[in-house]
Structure 1
Amino acid sequence: MVAVTGAATTQAAGKAPAPAPKQARSRVTRRHLLEAAVSCLAEHGWAGSTVGVVAERAGVSRGAAQHHFRTREDLFTAAVEYVAEERSTALRELFHTGPAARARPAVVGALVDLYTGTLFRAALQLWVAASNEEQLRPRVTELEARVGRETHRIAVELLGADESVPGVRETVQGLLDMARGLGLANVLTDDTARRDRVIAQWARILDAVLG
């Protein structure tokens, strides 16, 4: 009884911190796995990104990784979706900034940035894998359609575009297609200088079309 009382007294005094709740630890482990999966996919491609490689980078066991994601396809589609949502959140934050941050060149630049970082490289590897993996293809197709719809919706809101006007929807979609093309060009070489000129020109086009 003395030992039990002593332990209780020690905890009450704050000398022995209580362990983190199991659910919180699970969320942290899942996030680490998703972030590690995106990094591995961007760096090593589909062939070099096994569940074991991702688990090692995340600092967890392979068994822990498979507890969260039953298959390799589950892990990597969830990873790309997770980071896509993180980037969408960053875009949404432009709604709460000053007018300068919402100026069309800044909005176009922010949209282009979606396609020039680690996320796009990871998504690109997933697209290539899906073109050859029948099991993966429908999942990636559905994911990309969902991400594409969300990105288009955010772009319309940020640009103040009225898609009831003929040609406006196509102009916004053309902007996103252009951004994806710039992302592809940036995979092999640093395309910053040309990209900046294209962004400026697209901002002028949007001013002319959207008013």
Structure 2
Amino acid sequence: MRARLLEATVDCLVERGFGGTSTTLVSERAGVSRGAQLHHFPTKNALVLAAVEHLTEVRGAELAAAAARLPGGPRRTRAVLRMLGDHFASPVFTAALELWVAARTDEHLMAAVAPLEQRVGRETHRMTVELLGADESVPGVRELVQATLDLVRGLGLANTISDDARRRGRILDQWADTLDAALAGSPSATEGKAS
């Protein structure tokens, strides 16, 4: 029942935003009684805070699963960028975005969201370094990886307004060429492309 409530909360955040998400709507969507929902989560904040943790786990699991399916070879950089771009254009990212915006003006929500987002950010950065075979001891490589994550996050944000898949694809193709050229001298990158 708890899992159904958390999934329903994420769905409501995506479809209705933070302001349009209510405990009543979540319990209806989850197919549980209002009393059962109140037993698990007595307030909207309690429900949303649990959803923040749930979203963190879901985002990590989705990225790890997508990373495990990546091909090796000369198009690997493009595949990594496509995976990241798809993740940041997904409903899970949209729900997280709703929480970021709400947390900006809600100190209790910010106290829950900020450390989890920092953890997700560090893990996503670490995974991207590994997937690209990037050697961050080389000057500028860490900044390139962070620029990559900022780029895909920004493209994901643009996607919340309209379907931006075609433009996103063109931008990521160009960025893959840029990354390949910048990382070409990195011994780790060369090993990652061969695998």
With normalisation by structure 2, the TM-score equals 0.85
Aligned to 2:40: 68
Letter paired with 2:158: A
Verify the 8 A CA contact 2:141 2:183 in the aligned structure 1.
Answer: yes
Kindly state the Cα deviation for residue 100 of structure 1 after the two structures are TM-superposed: 5.5
2:50 is equivalent to residue 78 of structure 1:
yes
Where does the alignment leave 5 or more consecutive residues of structure 2 unmatched?
A: 185-195
Deviation digits for residues 100-140 of structure 1 (CA, Å, limit 9, x no counterpart): 69711011010111211111211111111111212212211
Letter paired with 2:122: R
**Larger Rg over CA atoms:** 1
1:188 match: secondary structure: coil
The within-5 A match list for 1:21-36 is: 29-36=1-8
Separation in 1, partners of 2:183, 2:48: 38
Aligned to 2:26: 54
Verify the 8 A CA contact 2:125 2:146 in the aligned structure 1.
Answer: yes
Change (3 A) 1:54 1:101: farther
Deviation digits for residues 170-194 of structure 1 (CA, Å, limit 9, x no counterpart): 1111111001110111111111111
Separation in 1, partners of 2:95, 2:52: 7
2:87 is equivalent to residue 114 of structure 1:
yes
Verify the 8 A CA contact 2:99 2:113 in the aligned structure 1.
Answer: yes
Separation in 1, partners of 2:100, 2:14: 12
Separation in 2, partners of 1:134, 1:182: 27
Separation in 2, partners of 1:97, 1:201: 19
Verify the 8 A CA contact 2:52 2:112 in the aligned structure 1.
Answer: no
Separation in 2, partners of 1:36, 1:174: 33
Change (3 A) 1:47 1:98: closer
Verify the 8 A CA contact 1:73 1:136 in the aligned structure 2.
Answer: yes
Separation in 1, partners of 2:11, 2:19: 14
Kindly state the Cα deviation for residue 203 of structure 1 after the two structures are TM-superposed: 0.8
Where does the alignment leave 5 or more consecutive residues of structure 1 unmatched?
A: 1-28
The counterpart of 2:153, out of the listed 156, 170, 180, is 180
2:152 is equivalent to residue 152 of structure 1:
no
Q: CA RMSD in A?
A: 2.0
Greater RCO (Cα-Cα under 8 Å, separation 6 or more): 2
Percent of aligned positions that are identical:
54
Verify the 8 A CA contact 2:5 2:27 in the aligned structure 1.
Answer: yes
Change (3 A) 1:87 1:100: farther
Structure 1 stretch 82-91 or stretch 44-53: which is displaced more? 82-91
Kindly state the Cα deviation for residue 37 of structure 1 after the two structures are TM-superposed: 0.6
Kindly state the Cα deviation for residue 148 of structure 1 after the two structures are TM-superposed: 0.9
| Count of residue pairs the alignment pairs up | 183
Separation in 2, partners of 1:85, 1:209: 32
